Every structure is written in C-alpha cells, then in structure tokens.
Structure 1
Amino acid sequence: MAARQRGRGARGAFGGRGLKEDTSAGVHPSILKQARRSGQLNLSGRSLTEVPDTVWRINIDVPEEAKVVTLDNTEDRWWEQVELTKLILASNAITHLGDGLAQLPALTVLDIHDNRLASLPDALGELENLQKIDISRNQLHELPACIARLSNLVSLHAENNKLTQLCPEVVDCRKLEELDVSHNELEELPKYIGLLSCLFRLNVSNNNLSRLPPEIGAMNCLRYFDATHNRLTQLPEEFGCLRKLEQLYLRHNRLAYLPILHSCENLKELHLGNNAIMGITAEHLQHLGSITFLDLRDNKVVKLPEEIILLQGLERLDLTNNDISALPYALGTINSLKAVVLDGNPMKSIRRDIIMRGTVELKKYLRSRMEEPESAPTTVATNKKESVLPAAGDTQQNHDMHQFKAMDFGGQKCSEVPAELWETAMQAGVTNVNLSKNSFTQLPSNLILLEGTLTELNMGFNKISTLSPDIGLFPKLVFLDLRGNGMSSLPAEISSLQALRELTLSTNRFTEIPPPVYELKKLEILFMNENQVSTVDPAGVQRLGVLGTLDLQNNNISQVAPELGNCTSIKSLQLGGNPCRNPRPALIAKGTNAIMEYLRSRIIT
C-alpha cells in the first residue's frame, strides 16, 4: 500500500513539474502522448527557441501513463507506443538542435525549415533511416560532412540559406532524388555531382554560379533542372546527354550559345529568356521534337530557321524583345501552336494589325504567304455579278481545301456559297472557312456540313444583325470573327463553344461584353474595340480564367471597376480611345501593368 502511495505521489510531482515545463516550452504532455501512438510529432509555429529535452527523449523516458498500472484501465495502452518517425519543428525561432537528435534513430522525416539555425550537429549523421530533410529558410553557411552517412536520403531542401558551397559529401547520398539549394550564395557545384544518378529534380536557381561541371551530364535520371538567375556564360557540351530531361530553366543568365541537346528527346519546356542568345539553329531544332514551350524572350535572336516546322508539338513560343524582323512561313503550319508572343520586335514583314489579332490570325497569314502552285483564276457568275473566284473543280481550290483544310470565299460580295464548294469542303474535311466581306445576313445553312471539323470561322464585315443560335452547333470552333456586322447581342447558344480561344466582336453595337461570353472557359483573346461598351463586369471577366488579351479601345467607358485588377491572367488590356476619367488617359498610356497595378491599389478591403 505504501509503495502504491509512493507511486501516486511520484506521479503527481513528476506530472506537475513536467506539465508546467513542457507547457512553457510549447509542448504539452498530451501532444507527446499522441506522438508516441502515431510516431509523428508536429511542433510547428510554437515560437520555440530551443527543442525541449522531452522531445529528444520521447522514446526513452517512461511515459506518465506507465507509472500507474491498474487492471481496470488499459485505455492508454502505453506499452504499444511506436518510435518517432516524423518530426516537424518548422516556423519557430530555434537557433540550435544539439546532440539529442541522435536519440531519434527511427526518424524518416525531419522538417526544421523557417528557423534560425546557423549550423547542424554531427548527430544528424546518426539518423541512418532519414529519407527527407527540410532545412530551408535558416541561416546555414554550410552543410555538415556527416550528411554523407544519410545513405537513405531521397529529398534534401536547403533553399534560402547562406550556403557558399555545397559540401562534396553530398554526392555520397546515392539515393537522393530531389535536391533544392536555390536562393543561396553558391559559386560552384561539387565536381562529382554526376554520381547522384538517382536525382530527378535539381534546383540551383538564384545563386552565383558561373559554370556547371561537365559531370552533370552523367545524371541519367534528371528530369527537372532549374538554374535561373545565375551568372552562367556557357553550358558544358555534356549537358546534351541528359536524355530524360523534361524541363530546363536557364532564364536570367549570360548565355550567348546553347549546346546541341542531342539526347534530350524528352525535353518539353525550354526556358532561355533574359540571356544574350543570338539565335537557335536548325541543328538545335532537330533534337527538340518533344518541345511544347520554347521561351526565347529578351535575347538577341535575329532570325528563326525554317526548321521550326520540326517542332510539331510546340504550343507556346515566346519571342518577346528580340531583333526579329520576319518569321518563317512554316510556323503557320504547326497545328498545335496556341500562342506566339512577338512584342518588342522590329517586325517589318508582318503588319502590326495582323499581329494584334492574335495567334490564329498570325498563323493564317503565314500559311497564306507560303509558296503555292501557280494557277490562273477562273471567272464565274454568282448572283448575276462577275467576280474572280476559284471554281469548285479548280485545281488550286481543291489543293487549298485538301492540303490546308481551308475554304476562302472572302470578298465576293455574295449572300450564298455555291453548293459544289460545300461538297468539296466536306469531302476535304475543311477546318478553316473565310466568308468575310460578303452580304450574308445569317450563317449559311450548308455550314452545318462542317459541324465535325470546323475550327476557324470568319464572318466579319457581313450584314448579320442577329446571330443564329445555330452557332452553338460547332463545338470545335477555336477562332470566331464577327467584326463589322452591326450586332448588339449574342445568342445564349454561343456558350456551347467551349473550345473557343479567340473571339473578335470589333466594330459592332455592343453596349457591354455579352453575358454568354463569360461562359467560354478557354477564351484567351477577346476583341471588343470599336463598340459602345460603357461598363465592364469584373466578376464576369474573372470567370474567364485564361483570358490574356482584352481589347476595349474606342468605346464609351468612363471608369473601370478596380476589381478588374484581380484578373491576373490578363497580360494585355487596351483602353485607349475611351472617355476615361478613372484611370486617367496618362496612366492608360503607360500600359497594362501600370493599369492593373493602379486598379488593385483602388480595391477597398
């Protein structure tokens, strides 16, 4: 009985002291109790300046619940405690860890990011089971050599520290798959970094690297490499051996030349912006067949080679701020190409108004300029008016329809299309129809023959005052031009065009952006210039999540709602020619970034 009382007394004294100390340190006994059950302890964001000793001894000290054993209370099941495998100490004010770390040999995850650590203890090397460690956002000047003993480490995050060098011992972590040492002060990488043969993600951005070791070419599993914001003047030729590389970020360096990436057949994204690259050659393009995004903005590129046609999977091409005066016509035949950005180039061979109409119109123009077989135009009579028009059986017309999948019936001043043309168009699987500058009052009834193939339709400059609901029957439409028709509204059925990326409603009588337009979730370009628009609905525009260009020039807008500034996808907002009082014309003249920043500053929170 006395022994039992002593046990209870000891428990009370120990529990009282322990509870008070642990609470003041930010760790309550109940948290430790739960950690013994789950094997995981999360102490993030508790303003800890040091790690309580109870944490290091969590699997050593006898838990409070074990000090009294009764037959009628087995609820705690303290004897089933598990070793700590995951410890999170993030977002505190911890300045050191100490050797107590060695008392947690079962740890597989250690997260101590966002603290004030200036060094790491040698005890870290005792954690042989450690697989993931996050020591980012501290004040570390170096990594300890004991890291070489972490033979099971697969993920190391050390970004946002003060590392001046990456210790050579890191290459002994042969199972490492992810390494992030970005935002440090590194001047070089370890010579034998190529020994990290399992590494698939390497981020060394925002450092002071002037060169990369040739051994980097031996990293056979590397899929993602980011060296943005460094001082690289060249890349080793061995870089072309990274056969599994999928994403390569080299923006904001000093590169003048790119090596031939002869084995990078899986490369999908190549970011070379903000360098000093003079050009990219045909030999480069021969090995980049999988590219979907090519970023060459802010370089010194003068010309693109005709071999750009080899990039048949290319979706986005950014050529902003280069010295390009012309584009290869073959660029227009890349069907996958969704966006070409040409701002800041001295373009001479292509009119600015064509460039401003967007990628679809630009590609159409480039295709039209390609060399075609010579043929004499045929004169036919339509509606008792003679006009120069390729007849249905004409060789050139058949050639265009079958090879370019395009039917051009523009500028004929007609109100209907010969039935033979529709039949040929259907057989050829035409995707592009131009009926602009005619006298149509409605969509041609035979247009329905192309329901399954039509992706581009130009009905500009006709006499369509009310658009037929039948427009909703063409779900594959990507480009629709309805300019110059005197329309004031659109049918609700236009919301069915869920593939539509570019819509031109210029030079009509709209007083607002038609509400059905807000349902076009893939719309990237909207031309509403030369109308009578007086207000813009920010909530509606915000629903257009990928809208990049919004042209509202020459309307009746006197003020723009500040909430439009929250539409962060918009990269080009044109407001010139409006009687705007807010924002002022002087601010509008500064461009989109200035307008959007001003609007956001006016939002009342």
Structure 2
Amino acid sequence: MLDEAMQRIHEAKRTRQTELDLADLDLTQLPEEVCELTGLTNLNLMDNRLTGLPESIGNLTGLVELILFDNRLTALPESIGRLGALTKLDLGNNRLTALVEAVGDLATLEWLYLSGNDLEELPESLCNLVSLVEIDLRSNDLEALPEPIGNLASLAELNLRGNDLRSLPESIGDLARLEFLDLNANRLTSLPESIGALAALTNLDLNGNRITELPDSIGELRKLEELDVSYNRLEALPQSIGKLTAIKKLTARNNDLLSLPETLGNLVALTELDLWDCSIEALPDTIGNLTAITRLDLGFNRLSVLPDSIENLTALTELDLRFNRLSMLPDSIGNLTELETLDLEGNRLSALPDSIGGLTALTQLEVKRNQLSVLPASLSAIGGLKELLVEGNPFAPEVAAAVASGHDGLMAFLKEIS
C-alpha cells in the first residue's frame, strides 16, 4: 500500500497538515518524504511492518505524538532524542531489545509505552524523564530497574507486569506521585522497606511473585485502595496491614498464611476480601468489624468453625466457604440478610441451622458433598432461591426422593414439612 501512503504524504505536504495517519498500510520502511514534513505534530505509524526508522526522523522536531505500536522495530536511531516536543511515544508490540541513551533527552515526554518488546534492561538516561506520568513496560524481559528510577518525580503509573524482576531498587520509594504500580508475574522474593514511602499509591499488584514476607512499612500506604498479593509464598500478613484504612479490595489467594492478624479488623473500608486457598485454620473475631464487606472468599482453607462475629457482616452478598472443614454453622448466619450466594460445598456439615431461612436475598445455595441427612424446612421461605445444589449428601430416603424430583419438587417438599 505504498501508493496510498505516498498519496497521503503528498496531500499532507500540499495542505500543510499537522497530523499524518499512515497506520495499517503494510509499510516495511518509512518513506524519507515523511521526515520532510517538519510541521507535523502527530504521526501515526501503528500496525505496519517497520523494522527500523531513518535517522532523519529527528528532523520532525515539532512532533508531539508518535505512534509506532505493532511494528517490527528492533532498534531506535539516536536521532530520536531530537524530538524535543514529544509528549507521547508508543513503541508497544515491537522487537526492541534495548533503548538508545538518547531517549533520555525527551524532556517533555509524559507517556511512554513499551509493552510487548524484548527489553532486558533500561538505560539510566530514562530516569532523566522528569515529566513522565505513565510508563508501560509490560511483557518484557527486564531483570532489574535502573537505580535512579526514583528521579521520575512526575510518575503516576508504572506497569511492569510480566517481566523477570528479582528485586526493586530502594529509590522506588522516591516516586512520591506514584498511584498505580503493577508488578504482577515477576520473580520478586522481597520488597524494599522504602515501598512504604509511596504516599500517593492507590493500587499495588504483586500477584504471581515469590515473596515470602511483606515489609512492615506496607502499612504506611495510607491511600492504598487495592492490594493483590496472590500466588506468592507468604506465611503471614504483617500486623501493620491494619493501618491500610483506605483499602477496599484485598486479594491474597494461594499463600500459606495459616492465620490472620487481629488488625485485619481495622480495615473498615474493605468491600472485597479474597483469601482462597491460604491454609487458614481460624478467623480472628475482629473479622466482624468489616461491616462494609460485600464479597468474602474463604474457599479451600482449613476452617473448622466460624466466629460468632460473622453475624456483623450484614452487607455481604457473596460468601464462599467451599472445601473447608466446617462441621456446623453458627445460628447467627441468618443475620446476613443481603447474602445472595453461599457456597458450602465440600465441608463436613451434618446439619444446617433453621436460621438459614432468614437469608431472604439468597438466590444460590451450594451444599454439595457434605454429611447432610436432612435439609431445614426454613429454606422454603426463601422465595428467590433459584439454585439449591445438594448432590453428594447421605440424605434420608424421603429427602433423597425430593432431591431427585428437581428443584421445584424439593422446594415443595420443604414447604410441606415446614
């Protein structure tokens, strides 16, 4: 489609356009004529097959936005550093293995996208970009960050998901304006104490690393709203986690926590807590303080009892307790009147309390693979119960017959015996 590209270039030259769109034209090299359009402010070259850029790209000193997403670039020319007006540079989905030092000369750059390349390291000059607000480095091969990374004083979003980072430099704590930090799917075994200095941080994703312990300083992240530490090797959560009073979503699935700190009850803004598959043997009584929580996932743990304080979680709409070791439920479970789904599959329940009929908002109840011989008649009072999943229990013959008749038949049977 070179003809189409040349037609657009000539038209842009004739009419002195400031924007040129050459996206998706199957270009393998950039026509030199483009680099003569020194009045350009926006140049879109995404979805082509460019393997390189000419040195003359540096002539476009008025460029504010340069989009090179989804090409085949293996390197950048040093002249890229002459684009002194550039605020947005998108180099995502290319084949870059390194960045030229001249990138550090782009003093006005605010957005830099480098996801989906083959970068193994970053030049220290990158840390000169003090205007940078967002940098996307997802899906590269980075093993370390340059030590002066903390110089990026304007940085609000740093995405490092899917790299090979083993550690973080202490200077990361100097990113005073950082709000979003994604370290998902790296190889981190620990975090620096300086992480607690990220006073503006609202989102921290540490999912899929090898972290064995969180630093006490994590509790200093007073603006943190979402924290994901799933799929690590944590054996405990620090007591200081109770200082995260702004947190709304805490996800820690697939760790080896065994127990939870009492200070968890201080997280009064929490709406979602996911502790799936963490080997937890008991819940602290303070869990009853989490009165804003709407979703609680405790599946695949080792819980044998629930604390009475669970009755205080009156905002709960989803409660997952599947595959624990519960032999009974507290009568107070009936106070959870907003509960819509309750999963109790794979426990050791021999009976359900009559109070379960108080769960008037319930639409799905799963009690498969327990030790139930009967079901409470009070279940018939839950008018919106659409799914009652009970397979794999040693029911008495009359209950088993009702179960075999289907949902409507079972509900009719329960109403009849009530």
TM-score computed with the length of structure 1 as normaliser: 0.52
* CA gap 1:89/1:35 in 2 versus in 1, 3 angstroms: farther
* CA gap 1:24/1:257 in 2 versus in 1, 3 angstroms: closer
Match of 2:325 in 1: 346
* Aligned positions of 1:219-234 closer than 5 A: 219-234=198-213
* CA gap 1:118/1:343 in 2 versus in 1, 3 angstroms: same
**Counterpart code for 2:148:** E
Aligned partners of 2:256 and 2:295: how far apart in 1? 21
Shift of 1:262: 3.8
Q: Does 1:294 align with 2:273?
A: yes
**Counterpart code for 1:43:** L
Unmatched segments (≥5 aa) in structure 1: 1-10, 16-21, 60-82, 370-405, 409-430, 434-457, 462-479, 483-502, 506-525, 531-552, 557-573, 575-605
- Counterpart contact for 1:32–1:41, Cα < 8 Å: no
Match of 1:206 in 2: 185
Shift of 1:43: 0.5
- Counterpart contact for 1:332–1:366, Cα < 8 Å: no
Shift of 1:58: 3.1
Q: Does 1:148 align with 2:150?
A: no
* CA gap 1:267/1:529 in 2 versus in 1, 3 angstroms: closer
* CA gap 1:181/1:361 in 2 versus in 1, 3 angstroms: closer
Shift of 1:360: 5.2
Match of 2:233 in 1: 254
Aligned to 1:481, which of 382, 403, 407?
382
* CA gap 1:263/1:283 in 2 versus in 1, 3 angstroms: closer
Match of 2:86 in 1: 107
Aligned partners of 1:57 and 1:318: how far apart in 2? 57
Match of 2:20 in 1: none
1:287-338, CA deviations, whole angstroms, 9 ceiling, x for partnerless residues?
Answer: 2111111111111111112221100101111001000111123313322111
**Counterpart code for 1:481:** I
Aligned to 1:47, which of 46, 49, 56?
49
Aligned to 2:251, which of 266, 271, 279?
271
Aligned partners of 2:252 and 2:306: how far apart in 1? 19
Higher gyration radius (CA): 1
Match of 1:383 in 2: none
Aligned partners of 1:265 and 1:322: how far apart in 2? 26
* CA gap 1:307/1:528 in 2 versus in 1, 3 angstroms: closer
Shift of 1:103: 2.3
- Counterpart contact for 1:330–1:366, Cα < 8 Å: no
* Aligned positions of 1:441-520 closer than 5 A: 481-482=382-383, 503-504=384-385
**Counterpart code for 2:43:** L
* CA gap 1:24/1:136 in 2 versus in 1, 3 angstroms: closer
Q: Does 1:172 align with 2:151?
A: yes
SS in structure 1 of the partner of residue 310 of structure 2: helix
Aligned partners of 1:230 and 1:23: how far apart in 2? 39
Match of 2:302 in 1: 323
**Counterpart code for 1:95:** T
SS in structure 1 of the partner of residue 250 of structure 2: strand
1:179-206, CA deviations, whole angstroms, 9 ceiling, x for partnerless residues?
Answer: 1112111110001211111111111111
1:411-440, CA deviations, whole angstroms, 9 ceiling, x for partnerless residues?
Answer: xxxxxxxxxxxxxxxxxxxx969xxxxxxx
Aligned partners of 1:154 and 1:361: how far apart in 2? 41
Match of 2:164 in 1: 185
Unmatched segments (≥5 aa) in structure 2: 1-9, 15-24, 344-351, 362-376, 392-402, 408-418
Aligned partners of 1:361 and 1:117: how far apart in 2? 48
Shift of 1:481: 2.6
1:119-164, CA deviations, whole angstroms, 9 ceiling, x for partnerless residues?
Answer: 1011101100001101111111101010121111111111111111
Match of 1:132 in 2: 111
Shift of 1:25: 4.1
- Counterpart contact for 2:57–2:80, Cα < 8 Å: no
Aligned partners of 1:360 and 1:331: how far apart in 2? 16
Give structure 1 regions of 4+ aligned residues with deviation exceeding 3 angstroms: 22-37, 52-56, 358-363, 365-369, 458-461, 526-530, 553-556
* CA gap 1:344/1:30 in 2 versus in 1, 3 angstroms: farther
1:514-564, CA deviations, whole angstroms, 9 ceiling, x for partnerless residues?
Answer: xxxxxxxxxxxx44999xxxxxxxxxxxxxxxxxxxxxx8468xxxxxxxx
**Counterpart code for 2:382:** D
1:250-296, CA deviations, whole angstroms, 9 ceiling, x for partnerless residues?
Answer: 000000111122431100111110000011132231x2111111111
Aligned partners of 1:33 and 1:527: how far apart in 2? 71
Query: Structure 1 stretch 179-188 or stretch 255-264: which is displaced more?
Result: 255-264
Aligned partners of 1:554 and 1:258: how far apart in 2? 45
* Aligned positions of 1:51-70 closer than 5 A: 51-53=53-55, 55-59=57-61
* CA gap 1:308/1:93 in 2 versus in 1, 3 angstroms: same
TM-score computed with the length of structure 2 as normaliser: 0.74
How many pairs are equivalent?
A: 348
Aligned partners of 2:38 and 2:404: how far apart in 1? 66
Aligned to 2:98, which of 97, 108, 119?
119
Q: Relative contact order, CA 8 A, sep 6+: which one is greater?
A: 2
**Counterpart code for 1:277:** L
1:404-463, CA deviations, whole angstroms, 9 ceiling, x for partnerless residues?
Answer: xx9x8xxxxxxxxxxxxxxxxxxxxxx969xxxxxxxxxxxxxxxxxxxxxxxx9965xx
**Counterpart code for 1:50:** G
- Counterpart contact for 1:529–1:555, Cα < 8 Å: no
- Counterpart contact for 1:158–1:180, Cα < 8 Å: yes
